[in-house]
């Protein structure tokens, strides 16, 4: 476990406590990664969810996180997607709302000279990758997206079965934000038999984004998908070396590590 004492909290924004690890804000602007897995403290401090953060923690960047909607101190992460379903039933897309708030925070942290504008990335695990992609779609300053076992299709998640035909839920699937990602660099990792989020769903998203980039005259679309042997419950686990492989790629993209 990463030492939780090294996790600091940024209380600049009402109602959005942002946790982070890395150099003090007094050290000026640095590259930034916003990483989402579960609650912020778990994303940054609990193994194995924090493996990308652990891998990058010795490098000159700050790694920020927030509680993903439906997660928090008193809440079971097992029930989080059920909470998402409840809010959709009430007519609220809390993922879009949360992504909008994070996007606003990123823009402000750039203005405050805490984040280097040209070196900002997002990453996430499962539903965290879903949120990370939404954040990138809303924030032009996010140039890189990294996802592990990404949820791409809400309508596929068992918690949404009852309302999967709702237009609001269908519209929330990641395939509908691809037009906002054409200028980004994206890499996803998924197991070859992921029953929880669906390997095919992930592939379909990657193919759609690649084709739209190509149609936009990007002759070599900056989109990658790594399919590895599934591990864990429902084939939805992510191995430590996969976390590290993705984190190293991101560090090289941000220009903070030499990859030989």
Which contiguous run of DSSP H or E holds residue 97? helix 94-111
* pLDDT tens sequence across 45-57: 999 999 999 999 9
Q: So what's the pLDDT on residue 14? A: 82
- Domain total in the chain: 1
Q: So what's the pLDDT on residue 258? A: 57
Q: Is residue 260 part of a domain?
A: no
* Whether the predicted pLDDT of 85 surpasses 70: yes
**Pick the residue with more confidence: 212 or 84?**
212
Q: Is residue 40 part of a domain?
A: yes
What is the CATH number for 101?
3.40.50.1820
Q: Is residue 204 part of a domain?
A: yes
Q: Is residue 236 part of a domain?
A: yes
* Whether the predicted pLDDT of 126 surpasses 80: yes
- Pick the range with the lowest mean pLDDT from 61-65, 70-74, 83-87, 138-142: 70-74
Q: So what's the pLDDT on residue 81? A: 79
Q: Is residue 171 part of a domain?
A: yes
Express as a percent the part of the chain with pLDDT over 90: 83
* Whether the predicted pLDDT of 33 surpasses 60: yes
Q: Is residue 202 part of a domain?
A: yes
Neighbours of 45 (CB within 10 A): 22
**Pick the residue with more confidence: 86 or 70?**
86
Q: Strand 223-228 vs strand 185-191: parallel, antiparallel, or unpaired? A: parallel
* Whether the predicted pLDDT of 243 surpasses 80: yes
Neighbours of 224 (CB within 10 A): 14
Taking every pair of C-alpha atoms in the chain, what is the biggest distance, in angstroms? 51
Q: Is residue 259 part of a domain?
A: no
Sign for the CA dihedral angle at 127, 130, 135, 140 comes to positive
Over residues 67-84, the mean pLDDT reads 74
Q: So what's the pLDDT on residue 260? A: 42
Give me the residues paired with residue 64 across strands.
Answer: 20, 34
Neighbours of 69 (CB within 10 A): 21
Q: What is the CA radius of gyration of the chain?
A: 17
- Pick the range with the lowest mean pLDDT from 28-42, 206-220, 245-259: 245-259
Residues 6+ away with beta carbon under 8 Å from 98? 66, 68, 69, 131, 134
Neighbours of 11 (CB within 10 A): 8
The mean pLDDT of the chain is 92
* pLDDT tens sequence across 150-176: 999 999 999 999 999 999 999 999 999
Which domain range does residue 93 map to? Answer: 4-253
Separation between Cα atoms, residue 125 and residue 77, nearest integer Å: 13
């Amino acid at each position: 476990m990463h030492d939780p004492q090294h996790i600091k909290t940024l209380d600049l924004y009402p109602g959005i406590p942002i946790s982070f690890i890395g150099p003090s804000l007094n050290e000026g602007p640095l590259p930034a990664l916003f990483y989402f897995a579960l609650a912020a403290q778990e994303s940054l401090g609990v193994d194995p969810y924090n493996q990308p953060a652990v891998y990058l923690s010795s490098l000159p960047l700050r790694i920020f996180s927030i509680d993903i909607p439906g997660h928090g101190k008193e809440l079971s992460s097992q029930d989080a997607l059920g909470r998402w379903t409840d809010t959709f039933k009430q007519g609220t897309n809390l993922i879009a709302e949360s992504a909008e708030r994070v996007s606003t925070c990123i823009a402000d942290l750039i203005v405050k000279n805490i984040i280097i504008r040209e070196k900002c990335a997002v990453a996430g695990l499962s539903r965290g990758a879903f949120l990370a992609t939404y954040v990138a779609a809303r924030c032009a300053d996010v140039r890189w997206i990294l996802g592990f076992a990404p949820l791409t299709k809400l309508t596929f998640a068992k918690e949404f079965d009852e309302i999967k035909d709702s237009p609001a839920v269908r519209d929330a699937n990641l395939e509908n934000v691809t037009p906002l990602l054409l200028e980004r660099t994206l890499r996803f990792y998924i197991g070859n038999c992921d029953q929880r989020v669906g390997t095919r769903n992930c592939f379909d998203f990657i193919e759609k984004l690649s084709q739209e980039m190509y149609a936009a005259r990007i002759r070599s679309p900056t989109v990658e998908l790594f399919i590895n042997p599934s591990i864990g419950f429902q084939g939805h686990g992510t191995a430590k070396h996969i976390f590290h492989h993705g984190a190293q790629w991101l560090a090289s993209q941000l220009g903070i590590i030499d990859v030989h």
